[in-house]
Structure 1
Amino acid sequence: MPSLQPPLSSPRRCMNAIATGWRNFIERVRDPYRPELHYMRGPGPKWHAKHPVQAAPAG
């Protein structure tokens, strides 16, 4: 008569998948790279010093 219980590797595989998911989640949350801190927001003061703003003609 065949066994009705699943093999023992199935629960182990499920727990391994859950643990891997949690590990990946924690890694993403603790990622130190924050691109918004390195984003250039436009030309800085040295660029403005080299390129004086010219007044637009009225009209």
Structure 2
Amino acid sequence: MLSSIRALIRSLKAAVNPDRYRPELHYMRGPGPACREQKSRAGDGDTDRA
């Protein structure tokens, strides 16, 4: 009886507050627009001096 109550409580906790790792929230897909902007600004000044 006690083990079934514990199992019920555990399943209710999991349903209310799922504490699972979700990789799609942490996956980086590559450099973003800010990185591209910095690289383009750095490249503009170097080509004029050469």
Larger Rg: 1
Higher helix share: 2
Range class of TM-score, shorter chain: 0.3 to 0.5
What is the TM-score of this pair, normalised by structure 1?
0.41
